[in-house]
């Protein structure tokens, strides 16, 4: 398993190459889906479709990027799904969320490889991705839906928009935390490593696991 | 597909004003279809193809006088034929000329995300502008009458224009021109409505069709194509004409409350994280801000080097 390892420098490898690659396949395809999807969402944002090649091109490519994104999500599920089950520490972490928001991190319990918020993000994108895929397939081929099954189209438009909004909310928080809020997090998903102090502070249970502390392994 | 830009009063997927806003001089046009005097000759189908330049396609024989099962992207006008066993009138041969109804509150336009792909003219005609169509097919979802049809080759959606190109130069639609029985009429909405009500009253009072009536469904704000029916309480018998057509509620929720809720949430989220940064700033591990330990080996780790 790609749980991470302590590097000879003392820094900690948090995400292996294949994890970072899949993350960025998902991230970049999601970005395209977001821009074109927002163009279809509101007339005030239709210019976004023009920027990425025009409305017709956007409509042609959006579903294909959707398949790329869902594929990346499925690969993430295979990589990380087993590590994303909620634990007792995650419940404590959520209880301490006001401290986390106020950057009072010493009052926040240290987490395993993924904290409660990351697990929420993961499952939000996983289930959101499934809903987007199913509704998106209907929206991809509306002319294949016979008239007596038209409720599928009716349901698809609202499910697709709702699921997309949920992922957008998660996406805003994720990008903010990964780039601006939590120093060191962006490096972990670009170059792969974090400092030992970072790992101990935020993911101390995980750090002890990969450091080989036998008392921590379950 | 006309150039009558200044008479456009509503535009799909459009931010900002429309050129014909507040325009009041145009007559509201209307097509009246009297199903009780239609003989199903299909002259209107032929005239529609002729005028719009579409080729004749293979017809489908299904033990019916109907040309094909459904309208198509290049076959906008279809007489739906039904043998209907009416409890009072016995076997009836129902013929309904099916085409775009040109709704006053058009579901296609409501659902369309492409700027200018669907327009509503001041005279009531709903027209698709294929050069702006992106081929998403949302109009097919918005329409309660199953009218917009997708062309797999053009990857655009097409439908009846109510011969906007003819009407805009003072001609009547091609189907009206071709009808030999006079069951099709074209004029202003008030005129046609009056004519239809007169005919319906005649059917009730003279011909014994006690449920005869006019079909001008209010669920879509009224239509610019109206029917006289022998029995207005059995609209479904006429080739599935919906009794109370409405834009699907999911489309209405999607385009109104969900849109505003979503916009509010997205803008709120962006403002929220910005204000959070101003108020609380980043999380920083003291003296450890991403800088690697200054050991010589730090830059030599396979695959993980190059830190700063």
CA distance B121 to B164: 9
Structural domain containing residue B266? 248-285
Verify that B190 and B260 share a domain, yes or no: no
Please compute the mean of the pLDDT values over residues B268-292 and round it to a whole number. Answer: 84
Given an 8 Å threshold on Cβ–Cβ distance, is B265 in contact with A55? no
Distance from B148 to chain A by nearest Cα, in Å? 10
Answer for the pair B118, B109: CB distance below 8 angstroms, yes or no. Answer: yes
Superfamily of domain covering A8-210 = Transmembrane di-heme cytochromes, Chain C (1.20.950.20)
What is the pLDDT at residue B288? 63
Verify that B181 and B262 share a domain, yes or no: no
Given an 8 Å threshold on Cβ–Cβ distance, is A42 in contact with B259? yes
User: Residue A134 burial (CB < 10 Å; 0-12/13-18/19+)?
Assistant: middle
Verify that B123 and B80 share a domain, yes or no: yes
Find, in chain A, the residue whose alpha carbon is nearest to that of B297.
A9
In this prediction the ipTM stands at 0.90
- Cβ pairs A/B, distance under 8 A: 164
Given an 8 Å threshold on Cβ–Cβ distance, is A173 in contact with B269? yes
Please compute the mean of the pLDDT values over residues B78-88 and round it to a whole number. Answer: 96
Verify that B56 and B174 share a domain, yes or no: yes
Q: What is the CATH number of the domain that holds B25?
A: 3.30.70.20
Note whether residue B239 is domain-resident. yes
What is the pLDDT at residue B287? 62
Give me the half-sphere count of Cα atoms (radius 13 Å) on the Cβ side of residue A189: 15
Verify that B195 and B252 share a domain, yes or no: no
Verify that B262 and B138 share a domain, yes or no: no
What is the pLDDT at residue B58? 84
Lowest-confidence pick of A49-58, A106-115, B2-11: B2-11
Domain count along chain B: 2
Give me the half-sphere count of Cα atoms (radius 13 Å) on the Cβ side of residue B171: 13
- Mean pLDDT score across all residues of chain B: 91
| In chain A, domain spans | 8-210
Verify that B231 and B204 share a domain, yes or no: yes
Quote the Cα angle for B38-B203-B220, to 5°.
70
Most confident of A159-163, A194-198, B292-296: A159-163
Verify that B220 and B279 share a domain, yes or no: no
Q: Would you place residue B6 in the very low, low, confident or very high pLDDT band (cuts 50, 70, 90)?
A: low
Structure tokens at A69: 């994104």
Note whether residue B178 is domain-resident. yes
Verify that B10 and B146 share a domain, yes or no: yes
Verify that B190 and B252 share a domain, yes or no: no
What is the pLDDT at residue B306? 39
Note whether residue B301 is domain-resident. no
Note whether residue B307 is domain-resident. no
Using one digit for the tens of pLDDT, what is the confidence trace for B101-128? Answer: 999 999 999 999 999 999 999 999 999 9
Note whether residue B234 is domain-resident. yes
Note whether residue B305 is domain-resident. no
Q: Would you place residue A211 in the very low, low, confident or very high pLDDT band (cuts 50, 70, 90)?
A: confident
Verify that B201 and B226 share a domain, yes or no: yes
């Amino acid at each position: 398993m790609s749980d991470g390892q302590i590097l000879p420098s003392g820094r900690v490898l948090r995400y292996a190459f294949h994890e970072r690659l899949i993350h960025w396949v998902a991230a970049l395809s999601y970005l395209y889906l977001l821009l074109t999807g927002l163009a279809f969402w509101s007339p005030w944002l239709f210019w976004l479709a023009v920027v990425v090649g025009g409305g017709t091109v956007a409509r042609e490519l959006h579903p294909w990027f959707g398949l790329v994104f869902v594929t990346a999500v499925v690969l993430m599920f295979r990589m990380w799904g087993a590590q994303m089950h909620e634990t007792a520490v995650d419940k404590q972490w959520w209880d301490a969320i006001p401290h986390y928001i106020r950057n009072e991190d010493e009052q926040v319990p240290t987490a395993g490889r993924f904290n409660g918020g990351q697990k929420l993000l993961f499952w939000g994108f996983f289930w959101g991705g499934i809903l987007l895929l199913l509704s998106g397939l209907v929206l991809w081929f509306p002319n294949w839906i016979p008239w007596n099954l038209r409720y599928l189209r009716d349901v698809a438009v609202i499910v697709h928009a709702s699921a997309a909004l949920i992922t957008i909310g998660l996406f805003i928080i994720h990008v903010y935390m990964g780039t601006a809020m939590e120093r060191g997090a962006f490096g972990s998903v670009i170059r792969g490593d974090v400092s030992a102090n970072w790992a101990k502070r935020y993911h101390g249970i995980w750090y002890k696991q990969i450091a080989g502390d036998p008392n921590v392994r379950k | 597909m006309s150039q009558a830009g200044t008479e456009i009063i509503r535009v799909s997927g459009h931010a900002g004003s429309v050129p014909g806003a507040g325009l009041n001089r145009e007559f509201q046009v209307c097509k009246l279809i009297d199903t009780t005097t239609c003989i199903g000759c299909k002259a209107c189908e032929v005239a529609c193809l002729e005028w719009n330049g579409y080729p004749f396609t293979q017809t489908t024989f299904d033990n019916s006088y109907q040309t094909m099962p459904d309208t198509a992207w290049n076959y906008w006008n279809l007489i739906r034929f039904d043998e209907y066993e009416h409890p009072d009138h016995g076997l009836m041969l129902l013929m309904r000329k099916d085409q775009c109804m040109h709704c006053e509150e058009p579901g296609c336009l409501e659902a369309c995300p492409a700027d200018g792909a669907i327009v509503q003219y001041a005279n009531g005609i709903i027209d698709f502008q294929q050069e702006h169509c992106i081929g998403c097919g949302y109009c097919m979802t918005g329409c309660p009458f199953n009218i917009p049809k997708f062309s797999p080759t053009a990857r655009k959606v097409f439908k009846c224009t109510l011969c906007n190109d003819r009407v805009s130069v003072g001609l009547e639609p091609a189907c009206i021109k071709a009808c030999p029985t006079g069951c099709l009429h074209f004029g202003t909405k008030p005129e046609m409505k009056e004519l239809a009500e007169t005919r319906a009253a005649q059917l009730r009072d003279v011909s014994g069709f006690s449920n005869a009536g006019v079909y001008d469904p209010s669920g879509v704000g009224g239509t610019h194509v109206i029917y006289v029916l022998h029995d207005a309480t059995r609209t479904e018998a006429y080739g599935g004409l919906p009794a109370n057509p409405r834009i699907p509620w999911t489309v209405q929720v999607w385009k109104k409350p969900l849109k505003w809720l979503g916009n509010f949430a997205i803008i709120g989220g962006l403002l929220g994280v910005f204000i959070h940064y101003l108020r609380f700033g980043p999380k920083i591990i003291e003296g450890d801000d991403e800088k690697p330990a200054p050991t010589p080996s730090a830059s030599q780790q396979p695959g993980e080097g190059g830190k700063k």
